[in-house]
Amino acid sequence: MKRERTKEIPLHDQIKNHVTKENEKETFEGNFERVISTGSTLLDLAISGGRIRGGGIPLGILVEIFGPSGCGKSILLSEIAGNIQRIGGNIIFHDPEGRLNPQFAKLFGLEINEQNYTMPDLVTQVFKGVRDWQPEGKPDTVNGIFADSLAALSTDLEMENKEGDKMGMRRAKEFSEELRKTCRILKQKNYLMVCSNQVRVNMDAGPYGQKYISPGGESVGFYSSLRLRATKPEKIYGKARVVGKEIKRPIGVRVDYEVFKSSIWKPYRTAPVTILFDYGIDDIRENLQFIKDYTENSMYMLGECKLYVSVEKSIDIIENEALEDVLKNEVIELWKTIESKFNSERKLKIR
pLDDT value at residue 1: 47
Contacts (Cβ under 8 Å, ≥6 apart) of 241 = 247
The predicted-structure confidence for 300-342, as pLDDT tens digits, reads as follows: 999 999 999 999 999 999 999 999 999 999 999 999 999 999 9
The predicted-structure confidence for 79-96, as pLDDT tens digits, reads as follows: 999 999 999 999 999 999
Q: What is the mean pLDDT of residues 235-258?
A: 93
Distance CA 87, CA 196 (A): 23
Distance CA 125, CA 96 (A): 10
59 confidence band (pLDDT: 50, 70, 90): very high
Query: Is beta strand 31-36 parallel, antiparallel or unpaired with respect to 57-59?
Result: antiparallel
Which helix or strand (DSSP H or E) is residue 151 part of?
Answer: none
pLDDT value at residue 28: 77
pLDDT value at residue 38: 97
pLDDT value at residue 168: 57
Q: Which residue has the higher pLDDT, 22 or 212?
A: 212
Q: What are the boundaries of each domain within the chain?
A: 29-276, 282-342
pLDDT > 70? residue 208: no
The DSSP-derived string for 121-136 is -BHHHHHHHHHH----
What percent of the chain lies above the pLDDT cut of 90? Answer: 68
pLDDT value at residue 199: 76
Q: Which CA distances in Å does 123 have to 96, 158, 172, 194? A: 10, 11, 10, 15
Q: Which CA distances in Å does 38 have to 42, 64, 194? A: 9, 13, 11
14 burial level (CB within 10 Å; 0-12, 13-18, 19+): exposed
49 confidence band (pLDDT: 50, 70, 90): very high
pLDDT value at residue 10: 55
Distance CA 236, CA 337 (A): 30
Q: Quick check: 180 and 217 in contact, CB under 8 A?
A: no
Distance CA 210, CA 37 (A): 30
Distance CA 61, CA 42 (A): 21
pLDDT value at residue 294: 96
14 confidence band (pLDDT: 50, 70, 90): very low
Domain 29-276 has CATH 3.40.50.300: yes
pLDDT > 50? residue 47: yes
pLDDT value at residue 21: 43
pLDDT > 90? residue 224: yes
pLDDT value at residue 190: 96
Distance CA 153, CA 143 (A): 22
- Top mean-pLDDT range of 15-24, 31-40, 96-105: 31-40
Q: Indicate the Cα dihedral angle 289, 290, 291, 297, nearest 10°.
A: 60
Q: Which CA distances in Å does 63 have to 40, 47, 80, 141, 265? A: 16, 11, 11, 19, 13
Distance CA 83, CA 250 (A): 27
Query: Is beta strand 200-201 parallel, antiparallel or unpaired with respect to 90-94?
Result: unpaired
51 confidence band (pLDDT: 50, 70, 90): very high
